[in-house]
Copies of this chain bind each other. A is one copy, B any other.
Amino acid sequence: MSLSSLALRWSARRAPLIARATTLCARYNSTYTPQTAALADIDPSRLKVTKRTDLKPQPDLEGLAFGRVFTDHMLTIPWTAESGWDAPQITPYGPLHLEPSSTVLHYAQTLFEGMKAYKNAEGKVTLFRPDMNMKRMITSASRIALPTFNGDALLDLIKQLIRLDAHWIPERPGYSLYIRPTLIGTQRAIGVGPPDEALLFVILSPVGPYYKTGFKPVALHATTEYSRAAPGGTGAFKLGANYAPGVVPQREAAVHGYSQNLWLHGPEHYLTEVGTMNMFVAIRNAQGVAELITPPLDGMILPGVTRDSVLSIAREHASGAHKISGLPDQLIVSERPVTMPEVKQALKDGALLELFGAGTAAIISPVDRVGYLGDDLIIPTGPDGLGPLSKPILAEIQGRQRGEIPSSWSVAV
């Protein structure tokens, strides 16, 4: 059976899944309407700010590890089923007092977002596509019966928090302020159900570049023993529940010399995600045209902001709307299922161009090796570690993030 007919057969089999996922997502997205007239929404005008007087020392940027150091302040917004969202508060960063019966501690009623603020040479602070994070956070909340909210209102408050702690944003290129909005169920009773109390909080952490010295491609273990997500599960939502189960598989991959899991699905070994990133593969087709492929949003794939950015930039280039220097003139951009047998065949045919992960932390994470069923597949990478498609796309994303390339994706704080 030829690869293209295989792909067609796979697509046909996945079509109902994708249709169902689309319906579900639409349902979740439509659930945000200010809940009832009686329940208060998040209201930035009610913000109370308690500033810290003893500011913390700034960390040494050289030894900065991801997510270990937090800024002086945090944002908290409590919610109750009775009255909705209470007044937002910015207070000194410090411990939360949670009852031991809080449902987040028992039933994983938690979801989060990851986003970054950048400071350019002129000191201007920007966010990258924050509307995408707000929208996804609301979708995640709907999936586990946590309260939804007005995303613009939360974004307004996040900007106020960033402005207060703006001196924490490193000005050095490649550095940024990582923003972690989190929503937890805090009901004080251990019945399993929609919680009657919740807490939204936002903390900030200065972070360095993912790759300190150039790009270092990673080795992946194509994982068949564990799965990250399944139809009818929660893989498409940024829930805490998707993360704890991945730690042991990652540790097992590390024991065998691989840095991350390449999560597969089903007996067909569909590629789904890489570690905690979305996944792209580029293959030259029989006509010699490059195809950039990422798995479709079939309910098992997280709708990543970087994933969407890569797709958008590639499509703008392919359509001619916004040509990217360095990309091949002809480019096919596909959201379609792709399997390990297809990747293996492409590698054998010399048609595999590259394979990479895409996420907020690393932006692009090139892959140079995949351990699959006992074999090591050596994946081509460019001389500096980046492949022929990911390199110009990364440059475009970084340019838009830093505001060097004007775009609507960069939002002033």
Chain A residues proximal to chain B, CB less than 8 Å:
20, 24, 65-68, 70, 74, 93, 95-101, 104-110, 112, 142-145, 180, 182, 184-185, 188-194, 201, 203, 205, 223-227, 230-234, 239-248, 250-251, 276
Complex contacts, A142 vs chain B, CB 8 Å: 248
Complex contacts, A100 vs chain B, CB 8 Å: 70, 74, 93, 95-96, 182, 201, 203
- Complex contact A233–B225 (CB within 8 A): no
A98-B96, A227-B230, A240-B241 known; A144-B106 Cβ under 8 A: no
17 new A-B pairs (CB below 8 Å) besides A106-B180, A241-B244? Answer: A67-B101, A67-B191, A70-B101, A96-B105, A100-B182, A100-B201, A105-B240, A107-B247, A108-B240, A143-B248, A144-B244, A144-B245, A145-B251, A193-B247, A193-B251, A227-B232, A230-B231
- Complex contact B244–A107 (CB within 8 A): yes
Report 15 cross-chain contacts, Cβ distance below 8 Å, ordered by A residue: A66-B191, A67-B189, A68-B191, A97-B97, A98-B98, A100-B203, A106-B112, A106-B243, A107-B247, A108-B244, A223-B232, A226-B232, A233-B233, A240-B241, A241-B242
Look across to chain B and name the residue whose beta carbon is closest to the beta carbon of A249.
B232
* Count of chain copies: 2
- Complex contact B98–A192 (CB within 8 A): no
- Complex contact A247–B101 (CB within 8 A): no
User: In the complex, A107 Cα to B109 Cα: how many Å?
Assistant: 10
User: In the complex, A191 Cα to B243 Cα: how many Å?
Assistant: 11
- Complex contact B98–A240 (CB within 8 A): no
Give 6 nearest A-B pairs by CB, closest first: A230-B230, A227-B232, A67-B190, A108-B240, A108-B108, A107-B243
A100-B95, A144-B245, A145-B247 known; A191-B106 Cβ under 8 A: no
User: In the complex, A251 Cα to B27 Cα: how many Å?
Assistant: 14
- Complex contact B251–A194 (CB within 8 A): yes
- Complex contact B244–A105 (CB within 8 A): no
Complex contacts, A99 vs chain B, CB 8 Å: 95-96
Complex contacts, A223 vs chain B, CB 8 Å: 232
Question: Nearest Cβ in chain B — how far from A103, in angstroms?
Answer: 8
- Complex contact A240–B107 (CB within 8 A): yes
Look across to chain B and name the residue whose beta carbon is closest to the beta carbon of A300.
B230
Question: Nearest Cβ in chain B — how far from A259, in angstroms?
Answer: 12
User: In the complex, A95 Cα to B20 Cα: how many Å?
Assistant: 42
Question: Nearest Cβ in chain B — how far from A341, in angstroms?
Answer: 19
- Complex contact B189–A65 (CB within 8 A): yes
- Complex contact B239–A245 (CB within 8 A): yes
Please tell me which one of the listed residues B68, B97, B190, B227 contacts residue A180 in the complex, with CB atoms under 8 A apart: B190
Among A110, A142, A189, A244, find the residue whose CB has the most chain B CB atoms closer than 10 A: A244
User: In the complex, A197 Cα to B276 Cα: how many Å?
Assistant: 22
Question: Nearest Cβ in chain B — how far from A93, in angstroms?
Answer: 7
Please tell me which one of the listed residues B104, B227, B232, B248 contacts residue A231 in the complex, with CB atoms under 8 A apart: B227
Please tell me which one of the listed residues B67, B95, B192, B224 contacts residue A243 in the complex, with CB atoms under 8 A apart: B192
User: In the complex, A250 Cα to B193 Cα: how many Å?
Assistant: 8
Please tell me which one of the listed residues B74, B93, B96, B239 contacts residue A244 in the complex, with CB atoms under 8 A apart: B239
User: In the complex, A345 Cα to B104 Cα: how many Å?
Assistant: 42
User: In the complex, A97 Cα to B97 Cα: how many Å?
Assistant: 5
A106-B182, A182-B100 known; A246-B192 Cβ under 8 A: yes
- Complex contact A189–B108 (CB within 8 A): no
User: In the complex, A251 Cα to B143 Cα: how many Å?
Assistant: 11
User: In the complex, A193 Cα to B230 Cα: how many Å?
Assistant: 22
- Complex contact B106–A240 (CB within 8 A): yes
A67-B189, A100-B201, A230-B233 known; A245-B241 Cβ under 8 A: yes
Complex contacts, A248 vs chain B, CB 8 Å: 142-145
